[in-house]
């Protein structure tokens, strides 16, 4: 019920629509229930002296009432169903916005296919709660509330016969409703597995083909698909049993009414017109009772899906603006790490230990070291892609946790190790995150990143579609596009996290030469495994096992003969071997 109370908040902006829709349902039911009374009167009048005038008057009256009832039926469907689409829009908007606020760790713990299933399949089931379920539930309630007094007015004993089968109808609805809820919830969970499997295979299609695993993956998917179909068929069997059983029980009640009501009409206890009127009321009552099974089905499906969506909504963003946070002066680029210790979990070992470092605004600092020494983790802490401990990371003397996330991240241009491009034009990828970007600015950023020559060879230039995840570009082209995207923002802090690993040394030198002019105007942090990339930095820090073991310029570190010098000599040897 708590989940439904939260869901009910989405109806607040549309309470007027809901109220008008309910009034239309009420008007449609009331006008519809007037028709059996008119037909009953007509039957009794036909037993006397009937004239064409009387027949015409009765026929036109019934036709007019039916038309009015139909108009209200049309309005109720249009208003209620339209409202449900607006609620669906709001819910999808909030769900997407909530996912956007989730940290990287959330997407590492939750499969993308599962999240997509909740955002599509589950959301569609929840929409049924806001539209058809409300409409059919209110129709059923109004019909039962208003029709029973009319039936009691005709014959109390005849009406009481209805309650012979009503308890059986209630038990049937309750039992099958519980079965539908349990099975549908499991089906939705399994659908998430199928979505996740498909998403992973489409994303990793190159690996699948490189290892010739198409047949194996098709077999695995077919197995999952078969089980999904079997689970759905088990639900279909339950639903297929529920509706005929309801119709049988309702039909049984109808037979009792016809048998006993006919005898009352023969004895003259009620008129033939009254018996006809009662029979038409019973006919009107049958559809809502059958719809009750459909409503229960919608309710069980919707609440099962709502439970899955609320599980995501209940997950609070681990990285968010602190309470009372307010805007700070514009960031200039001075960065400090003060006795920084960081681990990914309380039970996990420290990734960074005792990092103390001050980087002045406009300075270029490089970080080198073996894989797994914490270089990328250190970069991610600056823009709070990972949340640092309080009092450990500062920008311009202010704890990064005291900056609004939007202000902090807008000051950072970040090129991660794993380049991600969107399925869009090349120009749109470069201008990502920049409002109203001019084509001249896009071309400038591409020139700085050493991408202009490649673009001139593309058939549509900057309007070339790069494909999903940049699949139509080479690794080097993707990295240079990511560099152009970071430069395009003209950030105060520029982070290049192994951003030149996919280009050759000649292209690297060319890009670095063009970047130097940009880096002089801002704080630049470079992570690399290549000494050639970092040799011109103002300061080079060597990380090992989570802490800085050496720091200095290129020449100072070579003269010291430590870890950096060993790395330099090793790379020189590799180059000589490659040249020979």
Per-residue pLDDT of the chain (580 residues; tens, 9 = 90+): 566 778 888 888 999 999 999 999 999 988 988 888 888 777 777 666 666 777 788 788 888 888 998 899 899 989 999 999 999 899 999 888 888 888 777 877 777 777 887 888 788 888 888 888 888 888 888 988 888 888 888 888 887 877 777 667 767 766 776 777 678 777 777 777 787 777 777 766 666 766 677 777 788 888 888 888 888 888 878 777 877 787 787 777 777 777 777 777 777 777 777 878 887 887 787 777 667 767 777 787 788 888 888 888 888 877 888 787 888 888 898 999 999 999 887 788 889 999 999 999 888 898 988 888 888 889 989 988 888 999 999 999 899 898 998 888 888 888 887 777 777 888 888 888 777 778 888 888 888 887 887 788 888 888 888 866 667 777 778 888 888 888 888 888 888 887 776 666 767 777 777 777 777 778 989 888 878 788 888 899 999 888 999 999 888 888 888 888 888 888 777 666 666 5
d(CA 575, CA 408): 40
Token couple for 411:
């000051």
pLDDT (0 to 100) of residue 292: 72
What sign results for the dihedral spanned by CA atoms 132, 133, 139, 142? negative
Q: Name which of 67, 57, 75, 56 is nearest 34 in CA terms.
A: 67
pLDDT at site 22: 92
Q: Running DSSP on this structure, what letter comes out for residue 119?
A: I
* pLDDT at position 285: 77
Say if residues 318 and 106 touch (Cβ distance below 8 Å): yes
Per the structure block, which two tokens stand in for 534? 């970092």
CA angle 536, 542, 543 (to 5 degrees): 145
CA distance 408 to 321: 11
Query: What gap in Å lies between CA 578 and CA 580, rounded to an integer?
Result: 5
Q: What is the pLDDT of residue 211?
A: 64
Q: Which of 536, 531, 564 minimizes the C-alpha distance to 550? A: 564
Buried-state track 271-307, b at ≥16 Cβ within 10 A, e below 16: bbbbbbbbbbbbebbbebbbbbbbbbbbbbbbbbbbe
Cβ–Cβ under 8 Å, residues 147 and 285: yes
Partners of 541 in the beta sheet? 367, 551
Give 567's contacts (C-beta < 8 A, 6+ positions apart): 368, 531, 542
| Nearest CA-CA partner of 535 in 502, 505, 578, 579 | 505
Give the global pTM: 0.71
Most distant CA atoms of the chain, gap in Å: 124
Tokens of residue 485, six digits: 């995207």
Domains of the chain, CATH where assigned: 2-313 (1.20.1560.10), 331-411+491-580 (3.40.50.300), 419-489 (3.40.50.300)
Burial class (CB in 10 A: 0-12, 13-18, 19+), 268: exposed
Strands of the sheet with 393-395, listed across from one edge: 352-359, 335-342, 393-395, 398-399
Check residue 578 and give its pLDDT.
60
- Residue 448: Cβ-neighbour burial (10 angstroms; 0-12, 13-18, 19+): buried
In whole angstroms, what separates CA 369 from the centre of its chain? 39
């Amino acid at each position: 019920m708590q989940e439904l109370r939260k869901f009910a908040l989405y109806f607040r902006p549309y309470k007027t629509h809901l109220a008008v829709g309910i009034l239309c349902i009420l008007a449609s039911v009331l006008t519809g229930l007037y028709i059996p009374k008119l037909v009953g009167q007509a039957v009794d009048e036909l037993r006397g002296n009937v004239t064409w005038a009387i027949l015409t008057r009765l026929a036109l009256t019934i036709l007019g009432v039916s038309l009015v009832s139909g108009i209200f039926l049309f309005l109720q469907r249009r208003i209620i169903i339209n409202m449900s689409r607006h609620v669906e829009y709001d819910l999808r908007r909030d769900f997407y916005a909530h996912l956007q606020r989730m940290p990287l760790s959330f997407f590492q713990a939750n499969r993308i296919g599962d999240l997509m299933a909740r955002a599509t399949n589950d959301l569609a089931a929840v929409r049924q709660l806001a539209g058809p379920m409300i409409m059919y539930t209110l129709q059923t309630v109004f019909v039962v509330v208003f029709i029973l007094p009319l039936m009691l007015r005709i014959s109390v004993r005849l009406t009481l016969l209805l309650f012979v089968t009503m308890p059986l109808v209630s038990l049937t609805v309750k039992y099958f409703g519980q079965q539908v809820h349990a099975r549908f919830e499991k089906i939705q969970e399994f659908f998430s597995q199928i979505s996740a499997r498909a998403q992973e295979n489409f994303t990793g299609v190159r690996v699948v083909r490189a290892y010739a695993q198409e047949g194996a993956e098709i077999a695995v998917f077919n197995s999952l698909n078969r089980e999904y179909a079997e689970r759905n068929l088990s639900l279909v069997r339950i639903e297929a049993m529920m509706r005929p059983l309801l119709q049988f029980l309702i039909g049984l009640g109808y037979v009792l009414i016809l048998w006993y009501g006919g005898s009352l009409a023969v004895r003259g206890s009620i008129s033939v017109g009254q018996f006809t009127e009662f029979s038409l009321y019973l006919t009107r009552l049958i559809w809502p009772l059958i719809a009750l099974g459909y409503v229960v089905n919608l309710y069980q499906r919707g609440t099962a899906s709502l439970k899955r969506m609320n599980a995501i909504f209940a997950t609070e963003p681990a990285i968010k603006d602190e309470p009372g946070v307010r805007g700070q002066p514009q960031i200039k680029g001075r960065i400090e790490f003060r006795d920084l210790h960081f681990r990914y979990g309380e039970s996990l070992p420290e990734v960074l230990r005792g990092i103390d470092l001050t980087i002045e605004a406009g300075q270029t600092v490089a970080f080198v070291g073996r894989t797994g020494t914490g270089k990328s983790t250190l970069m991610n802490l600056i823009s709070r892609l990972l949340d640092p401990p309080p009092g450990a990371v500062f920008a311009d003397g202010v704890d990064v946790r005291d900056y609004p996330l939007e202000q902090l991240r807008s000051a950072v241009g970040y090129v991660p190790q794993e380049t991600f491009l969107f399925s869009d034009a090349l120009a749109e990828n470069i201008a990502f995150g920049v409002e109203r970007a001019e084509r001249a600015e896009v071309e400038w950023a591409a020139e700085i990143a050493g991408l202009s020559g490649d673009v001139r060879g593309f058939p549509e230039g900057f309007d070339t579609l790069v494909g999903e995840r940049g699949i139509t570009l080479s690794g080097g082209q993707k990295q240079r596009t990511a560099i152009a995207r970071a430069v395009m923002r003209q950030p105060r802090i520029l982070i290049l996290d192994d951003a030149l690993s996919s280009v050759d040394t000649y292209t690297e030198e060319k890009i670095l030469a063009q970047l130097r002019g940009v880096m002089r105007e801002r704080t630049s942090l470079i992570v690399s495994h290549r000494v050639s990339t970092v040799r011109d930095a103002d300061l080079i820090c060597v990380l090992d096992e989570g802490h800085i073991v050496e720091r200095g310029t290129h020449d100072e570190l070579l003269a010291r003969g430590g870890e950096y010098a060993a790395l330099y000599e090793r790379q020189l040897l590799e180059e000589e071997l490659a040249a020979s």
